[in-house]
Chain A
Amino acid sequence: MNTLKIAFRNIRKNRGFAIINIASLALGITCFLLLSAYVYHELTYDRFLSNSDRISMVTSGVKAADDEDYQYWSVTPTALAPEFEKEFPEIEKAVRMYNYNDAALVEKGSETIKENGLKYVDSDFLKVLDYKILEGNSNSPLANPSDIVITEKLAKKYFPNTNPIGKTLVVDNTPWRVSAIIEDLPTFTEIKFTALLSNKGLERYKQTQWGSANDLTFLLLKNNIDTKAFQSKVDRFANEKFKEEAKAGFTIKFNIEQIQDIHLHSKAAGSGNMTYIYIFAFLGFALLVISAVNFTNLSLSHATERAKEIAVRKVLGAARKLVFKQFIREGAVMVGLALIIGLVSTWFLLPIFSAYIAVPIKLNIWTNPIFYISMLGFFIILNFLASGWPAWVISHFKPINVIKGQLKSNYAKFSVAKILITFQYCISIFLVICTLFAFRQMQFIQTKDTGLNRSQILVLDGDIWKNIERETMKNELMKLSSIKNVSASYDSPVNIQGGYSLQTAEGKQANFKMDITAIPIERDFLSTFDIPIIAGENLNETDIIKAKDTSVNRSVAIIINKLTVEKIGWTPQEAIGKQVHINGRKGPVKAVVDNFNFASLREEVRPVALFPEYNYFGNIFVKLEANANSKQAIQEIESVVKKLKPNAPFEYHFLDEDYADLYKQEQQTTKIMQLFALVTVSIACIGLFAISAYAAQQRVKEIGIRKVLGASVAKLVGLLTNDFIKLVLIAFIITVPLGYLAMDKWLANFAYHIHLEWWIFVIAGLVTLVISFLTIAGQAFKAARANPIYSLKDE
């Protein structure tokens, strides 16, 4: 207890030093814990299901003859689950999940509320994905065609004061009976929903088919399956099943993917990225090491100031072991404080961090005893790492030298310290480089002309409007002076997903067939988005009347992009009027438009077709006049919508948000990078500060001599900073090629990206250099200004 008291007394005595030391270590620990929380969150995806190691998801891959790689889909045909279950003894159970209409309207009293997490599932769904059933029928809650299982959150929303079991929930005018309530889903799951509806009544499952894919399929496998053998059996099955397609050049395959690997490893359904996980794990660890190194450096630089105390202790008979113990204890107090501060600040910062990176991290590790045990282990390791070495060095001081004032430890010139500093700077500069490039790329994405004008476009839900209603609304809206145009389409034009195939029997290439992305559009689509027409004409009223025709022989006006025309081998002018087929839709090419990006900039522009089809429009677009006051315009739109659909919720967003959503992962990563680049540079600067202060202390006498010999302050500052600036330069030279490689690889993810401009590297280097210089210049200046008569005293 006595040594602990002395430890506290010493810390209090050297408050400034102790604060810097503890704070920098605490900062490192906080960053490490925050990043660990993020990494842990990403790694635990879907592991909460008790059978998770036996649950697999079936995803599909399709490759056309001239495609380089497969296109991966998370969806599979309806026939897959039942046939797989029959075919493969490895499968205990196979279930499907199908999207309910994106915008279900659920009644709550007289109100209707839009819900978008509703899914149709097979009756055994909860036997495979075993979410915890809190109330209601836990055996077969989805056995009846009108059964609905809702999450706790939904239960609270629609049945705030009553027990929902057995009650009716009206969805789009159809009554469903609540049969069970399940626990809310955690944030770390790829399978998201708010309610599960029995799919028993659905027509589409009466006659299952292999021709289109719209269902998620989950398998519960038997224990101890040889997954490789199983996968090759599935491959053989797929080859057999799609023999005809293979002849046409299409390869179709089904991948069995473990549910817990979906998030980070699945190309078909994963929203995460393992590379980023490695980066963040490395970053967290590096930050911890850097701050532990700082702790060592600071403690050592401070130790010389206490050399006299130690010498006196030793002369008084303290054994080396005792001195070692004393310093370890002092270190332990500081490391302990840093750890506590780190934990507390992590606790407070986690929600902020989580909001900042837009990943809802919620961890319940605080109640887990393993967490505390690992923290204890962490404490012991950190203590030995951070204060073991200083304690050892200090306890080896020779008292006689110290008392004679000849203390000359070579630590400042010590190559290990320099290597550590250089390492810190490598990481700092690397992060600064990454941050700058990521920032530039994000800026590029924001400002690149994608060939489609996204500005001032409001997106409304389209699926609640019937054709007639929508047209009434459009007419009403067009009367407003603030509105330039109104249109609609199937999905968002910044992310068109429909996979179709285009055929033509006309022109040079008869029997031409190719994969094409396509989207049903409303008449004014092209003018709303300012997509330039190269040849032909925009859609007119006649085209729309034809489009509304539902007979088999209807003719559909088809618009294709320049690339499609080039691939077929026509000029844009030649293409006009040529007959083409798109999945059963026949018609002449009405217009050829310039290429525009209809997916993220990660992908090259591909062939795309647009055709009028007034069947389902998911989105309605309202283009505001450039000079319109958007706030006022939105109010006007709302009043029009409310007048026509008084019960429907008025929800809107800007198209720019859809666009930004495409780069969510990159945005997140960039934000984390920015934050931690800042932290790393700061921590590295603290380290540099410590070691340079230590070096200046060691060279006090030399500086005094040089001053007496006529050295100017500027010369001495140069002398003192030179060594460390050199380290930063070395770090820069080491890091540039690494940064170049990393950024080259990262930018390769984007089909459209910035160049690796050399001046960005230079800026990264300069920024780090200037910050480092400012960090140590103050110290050096102070040392250079000191009067030499004090350092050169002969007594």
Chain B
Amino acid sequence: MIKLEHIFKWYNVGGTKSFILKDINLEIKEGDFVSIMGPSGSGKSTLLNVIGMLDEPDEGNYFFMDEDVLNMKAKKRSQLFQSHIGYVFQSYHLIDELTVYENIETPLIYKNLSSSERKSIVSDLLDRFNIVGKKDLFPAQLSGGQQQVVGIARALAGSPKLLLADEPTGNLNSKQGEEIMELFKQLNEDGVTIIQVTHSEKNAEYGKSILNMLDGQIK
């Protein structure tokens, strides 16, 4: 599903290159659950952003479902992104002004689905994550764990094949974190490919494989 070949990314600092990603070669198959670990500044998030098509490397090749992402037109890429990738953030990034229901609905609006289609998808998700009773609440009225559940539901609204999560439990207590991880495990069993960045060894264990990064390289 994902194939990275000789990926480099760097900053120019006073004429010398400071590498964030250094010769990354990686293949992730459909149905995988990968945890990326490493200290701060090791390049985990950047790698995730490159995979998530939000950031571009300075060198290398990236194939997503056998398509050359880096030599693709921006429009095609965003289409690919819209239909296959969902994002989950450490600090949830829900839109404060929208209700739980509307937050989950937003990506569907951008996919130009009709309101009845949207309604059925959002209802399914609310059901699946047990948050039907909270659909009219605003993010500020929810606990961190609940907010993250909404964040995941929203990421799944477009039924993506790949879920990217940047420290999804970083702002949660251990019990809430565990629940989210259980949720991820469940999703993976249902066929969603997951790549998560995490600091916690325990959470990393939920993945089928663990990548350790240091100074922009995979160990």
Contacts and interface: CB of A to CB of B under 8 A. Distances in A.
Contact of B91 (A706, A708, A794): A794
B80 to A, nearest CB: 11
Enumerate the 5 nearest inter-chain pairs by beta-carbon distance, A residue then B residue, closest first: A710-B110, A709-B107, A710-B82, A794-B90, A705-B93
B167 A794 contact: yes
B49 interface: yes
Interface in A765-792: 787-789, 792
Nearest to B79: A710
A720 B107 CA distance: 18
28 contacts: A701-B93, A702-B95, A702-B96, A704-B93, A705-B94, A706-B106, A706-B110, A709-B87, A709-B110, A710-B78, A710-B82, A710-B110, A710-B158, A711-B110, A712-B78, A712-B110, A715-B110, A787-B55, A788-B54, A789-B49, A789-B54, A792-B93, A794-B89, A794-B90, A794-B91, A794-B166, A794-B167, A794-B170
Interface of A: 701-702, 704-706, 708-712, 715, 787-789, 792, 794
B173 to A, nearest CB: 17
A789 B55 contact: yes
B208 interface: no
Nearest to A716: B110
Interface string B96-120: 1100000000110011000000000
Interface in B45-69: 49, 54-55
Contacts of B154: 709
Contacts of A711: 110
Nearest to B92: A705
A712 B107 CA distance: 11
B81 interface: yes
Contacts of B89: 792, 794
A706 B87 CA distance: 11
B158 to A, nearest CB: 7
Interface residues of B, number: 24
Contacts of A789: 49, 54-55
A788 B87 CA distance: 12
Contacts of A712: 78, 110
Contacts of A715: 110
A676 to B, nearest CB: 39
A708 B86 CA distance: 8
Nearest to B83: A710
Contacts of B49: 789
A709 B81 CA distance: 9
Given A788-B54, A789-B55, A794-B170, A710 B111 contact: yes
Contacts of A702: 95-97
Given A710-B158, A794-B89, A705 B81 contact: no
B136 to A, nearest CB: 20
Contacts, number: 44
A702 B94 CA distance: 8
A708 B110 contact: no
Contacts of A708: 54, 87, 93
Contacts of B90: 794
A710 B107 contact: yes
Interface of B: 49, 54-55, 78, 81-82, 87, 89-91, 93-97, 106-107, 110-111, 154, 158, 166-167, 170
A705 B111 contact: no
A788 B52 CA distance: 12
Contacts of A704: 93
A392 B107 CA distance: 40
A787 B54 contact: yes
A711 B111 CA distance: 8
B95 A706 contact: yes
Q: Which of B54, B81, B158 has the largest number of chain A CB atoms within 10 A?
A: B54
A712 B87 CA distance: 16
Contacts of A709: 87, 106-107, 110, 154
Contacts of B78: 710, 712
Given A702-B95, A706-B106, A710-B111, 5 more contacts: A709-B87, A710-B82, A787-B54, A787-B55, A792-B93
A705 to B, nearest CB: 5
A712 B81 CA distance: 12
B109 to A, nearest CB: 8
Contact of A705 (B82, B95, B158, B166): B95
A41 B143 CA distance: 68
A240 B158 CA distance: 97
Contacts of B97: 702
B25 to A, nearest CB: 23
A641 to B, nearest CB: 78
Nearest to A711: B110
A715 B55 CA distance: 21
A701 B106 CA distance: 15
A705 B90 CA distance: 13
A787 B49 CA distance: 11
A370 B154 CA distance: 67
A702 B106 CA distance: 12
A715 B78 CA distance: 14
A705 B92 CA distance: 10
Nearest to A788: B54
Contacts of A710: 78, 81-82, 107, 110-111, 158
A758 B54 CA distance: 50
Nearest to B94: A705
B214 to A, nearest CB: 19
A702 B95 CA distance: 6
For A705, A712, A787, A788, which residue has the most chain B Cβ atoms within 10 angstroms? A705
A163 to B, nearest CB: 84
B36 to A, nearest CB: 15
Nearest to A707: B54
A466 B87 CA distance: 100
B203 to A, nearest CB: 16
Nearest to A705: B93
A109 B107 CA distance: 94
A780 B170 CA distance: 32
Nearest to B81: A710
Nearest to A787: B54
A792 B45 CA distance: 11
B12 to A, nearest CB: 18
Contacts of A706: 95, 106, 110
Contacts of A788: 54
Contacts of B166: 794
A709 B104 CA distance: 10
A709 B107 CA distance: 5
Nearest to A708: B87
Nearest to A715: B110
Contacts of B110: 706, 709-712, 715
A259 B90 CA distance: 80
B92 to A, nearest CB: 9
Contacts of B158: 710
A715 B106 CA distance: 12
Contacts of B167: 794
Contacts of A787: 54-55
Most buried by A among B49, B87, B93, B167: B93
Contacts of A794: 89-91, 166-167, 170
Q: Which of B106, B110, B167, B170 lies at the interface centre, i.e. has the most chain A CB atoms within 10 A of its CB?
A: B110
A715 B82 CA distance: 15
Contacts of B54: 708, 787-789
A787 to B, nearest CB: 7
Contacts of A701: 93
> For A701, A708, A712, which residue has the most chain B Cβ atoms within 10 angstroms?
A708
Q: Select the residue from A709, A715, A787 with max chain B CB neighbours within 10 A.
A: A709
A22 to B, nearest CB: 35
A719 to B, nearest CB: 11
